[in-house]
Structure 1
Amino acid sequence: MKNPTTCFVPVAALQSYVVAVFVAAGLVEADAVTMADSLVAADLRGTHSHGVIRLPFLVERLRQGGANLRPQIRVVQDAPATALLDGDRALGAVTATAAMRLAVEKARTQGVGFVTARNSDFIGTCAHYAMMALPHDMVGLAWTNGFPGMAPAGGRSNTIGNNPIAFAAPSLSHGPVVLDMALSVAAGGRIRLAAKNGEKIPHDWLVDSEGLPTDDPAALTSGGALLPLGYKGYGLAVFGEILCGALTGSRILGEIPAWFRATDQAIGNGHIHMAVDIRRFVEPEAFKQRVDTMVSMLKATPLMPGAREILMPGERAWRTEQAQRASGIAVPEPVAADLRQLAALLRVDVPSSLSIHPS
């Protein structure tokens, strides 16, 4: 199917719109800004499956009571290098941002900060939080569990989360090296975006309710299951449950409802955040230079037939970010229509680039 028409929205305009929507839905402005930062950053880097397409669901969580409008996030356990936060049912990006900031703060004094969170919600792209370490000359990690949308290796039903994980490290002259990956072949959000745009998907992304491969993304919401990245992806997903669920005292596996469907229910998932202060091991500039050297060596690898270049993890997203800062963020018309509808519901002004159906 032909791609739907796309709007291009200036970054600042989209950010202001998302903040206004969350404020109109009842969030305090600081939390609204935090939520907008997470969603717009995902779109800016081209991860549109986790960007403003999620806004209507998140607003519905606030309106239906699944997430807390006025959370009191608190430190439950504290030590020099570690902490456990209780998110008080805040929207996930609010809890995750607080956790990552605390991890960075602890890393400044201890070299490493390891902060866990419980009683949370869907946090969006893990890369957003891992990258919060970069301005501080630190390496960042973020990992979360979530509702079971993925089959275990050899299974046919959705029994475990795809439990995404992200790492971020700075370089000197290249963009940051960022690995952000679901542990399924493709993230559920990417499949939902394909369904929204009326697109088919590869047959190795999903099985339908009968356990058969399918190219229909709608099968995910009618009893289908994501396929894991083989037994290795499944194994990592298991440790995602152990570290993000069991270690934090959070819900695991089928205890976690689907955040985008059960909008009136608390999610109760967990996540972990780590920051590593580079200067405790080597001078940050020397570290970045070594990363640059590594990148150059990898890019010098002879190419396979048909390959154009060697890409670093996160390099495509970095390029997309630079391009979209100039051109505006690409918003497909089906998503833009949802944003216009949401603006009308909450009586919020919509950016002019979204206000008229593009030709």
Structure 2
Amino acid sequence: METGKYYAAGELIAFGAAIFMATGMSAAHAAPIANGLVKANLRGIDSHGVSRIPMYVERLQKGLVNARPDVKVVEVSGAVSSVDGDNGMGFVASQIAMGEAVRLAAKNGIGLVGVHRSTHFGMGALYALQAIEAGYVSMVFTNSSPAIPMWGGRTVFLGASPIAAGIPGGKYAPYVMDMAMTVIARGKIRLAAMRGEPIPAGLALDSDGNPTTDAAKAFEGVCLPFGGVKGSVLGTLMDLMSGVLTGAGFGGDVKSLYFDHTQAQNVGHLFFAIKPDLFMSLTDFNGRMDTFYERMKALPRAAGVDEIMLPGEPEQRREEERLRQGIPITDNVVADLASEGNRLGVAFPAGRDKRLDAA
């Protein structure tokens, strides 16, 4: 049986920020990265949460990630900018890029920002939520290191390359979509491997090309694209738009976050921000979003379904729950984080055996 403790979001953010600053990172960069990781935990996307801290720290300390990047933003046309991430943490370049996309959209109605020389940027929904908070519609593209084959191929070539999008709601929940091109996010396979848990059949192949339910073998092997050829085609689009178009790595060039400790990754991202009131007033747009939501909730439900929810709504509810009850962290992840903290002189919080609202 899996065991662990509950942690308040604030104490995990403080720990994460202190860890990153111990690598030489500025507080201005460390805090948003820690916030982004804990945001993933809050929303139930634990594969992209604080469990990744030791891996990021290793890359920072080996010089594969620049702890103090000089991120450069260049406006290349009226509604388009390019961002050079200087091989810093992808969270930093991406937050800057989405902010720039929103700035351009405020002026032009739409903003498009391409990023090169970046690294893994965490949960894609972070940047859709950033745009929603500013009141903008958004789309987020990224490529990543090879994880799935081209359709018809038998070796990895395309990344898991998630796509995210966000649309502000009216008085109800916003639309927030974030999904990888694999049947299951590669980070979830990694988390299962860390926990010693099997994965369902049909998600991955081992390094010899055989179907496997062993998470460790799957993580070292080939993830399968969701929807067969359709997932492969979308993965191709992510690599072309995020890599070829932006000047980042592409076509198998992006270095593995997990296995390649020889070079910087050179991940590419593409951020779109769009004003929601381009075709009508904001009042009318919000009203139409409310109407959509109400019609969706009134739809006849399939057998066994209690409620139909908008994409992103389950994660929003999980966040509200975990803000009240604390974030559950399993013992093996706690041990890894405590060990990293001891090595860098940062104490890991004690946590609670009971949930915060039950204490």
Given the two structures, how large is their TM-score scaled by the length of structure 2? 0.94
Task: Report what 2:224 is aligned to.
Answer: 227
Report the RMSD for the aligned CA atoms in angstroms.
Answer: 1.6
Q: Tell me by how many angstroms 1:354 deviates.
A: 7.4
Task: Report what 2:171 is aligned to.
Answer: 173
| 8 Å Cα contact 2:176/2:311 also seen in 1 | yes
Q: Tell me by how many angstroms 1:264 deviates.
A: 4.6
CA distance in 2 between counterparts of 1:316 and 1:76 reads 37
Q: Tell me by how many angstroms 1:187 deviates.
A: 0.7
Matched residue count: 352
Task: Report what 1:258 is aligned to.
Answer: 256
- Which amino acid letter does the alignment assign opposite residue 11 of structure 2? A
Q: Is the partner of 1:279 in helix, strand or coil?
A: coil
Task: Report what 2:31 is aligned to.
Answer: 33
Task: Report what 1:147 is aligned to.
Answer: 145
| 8 Å Cα contact 2:189/2:219 also seen in 1 | no
Question: Among 160, 164, 167, which residue is 2:162 paired with?
Answer: 164
Alignment of 1:238-317 (within 5 A): 238-317=236-315
| 8 Å Cα contact 1:171/1:289 also seen in 2 | no
Task: Report what 1:337 is aligned to.
Answer: 335
Q: Is 1:7 the equivalent of 2:26?
A: no
Judged with a 3 Å threshold, the aligned counterparts in structure 2 of structure 1 residues 289 and 6 are, in CA distance, closer, same or farther, namely farther
- Which amino acid letter does the alignment assign opposite residue 146 of structure 2? P
CA distance in 2 between counterparts of 1:244 and 1:188 reads 19
CA distance in 1 between counterparts of 2:269 and 2:114 reads 6
Q: Tell me by how many angstroms 1:299 deviates.
A: 2.5
Q: Tell me by how many angstroms 1:214 deviates.
A: 1.5
Task: Report what 2:204 is aligned to.
Answer: 206
CA distance in 1 between counterparts of 2:319 and 2:289 reads 21
- Spell out, residue by residue over 1:42-75, the C-alpha distance to the aligned partner (whole angstroms, 9 max, x if none): 1111111011111111111110000012211112
CA distance in 2 between counterparts of 1:218 and 1:292 reads 44
Uncovered stretches (5+) of structure 1, i.e. residues with no partner: none
- Which amino acid letter does the alignment assign opposite residue 108 of structure 1? A
Q: Tell me by how many angstroms 1:289 deviates.
A: 2.5
CA distance in 1 between counterparts of 2:150 and 2:262 reads 28
Task: Report what 2:56 is aligned to.
Answer: 58
Alignment of 1:129-144 (within 5 A): 129-144=127-142
- More off after superposition, 66-75 vs 253-262: 253-262
Q: Tell me by how many angstroms 1:220 deviates.
A: 2.6
- Which amino acid letter does the alignment assign opposite residue 72 of structure 1? D
- Spell out, residue by residue over 1:161-193, the C-alpha distance to the aligned partner (whole angstroms, 9 max, x if none): 011010011112322210100011111001111
- Spell out, residue by residue over 1:183-230, the C-alpha distance to the aligned partner (whole angstroms, 9 max, x if none): 1111100111111122211111111223222211111343x1010012
Q: Tell me by how many angstroms 1:111 deviates.
A: 0.9
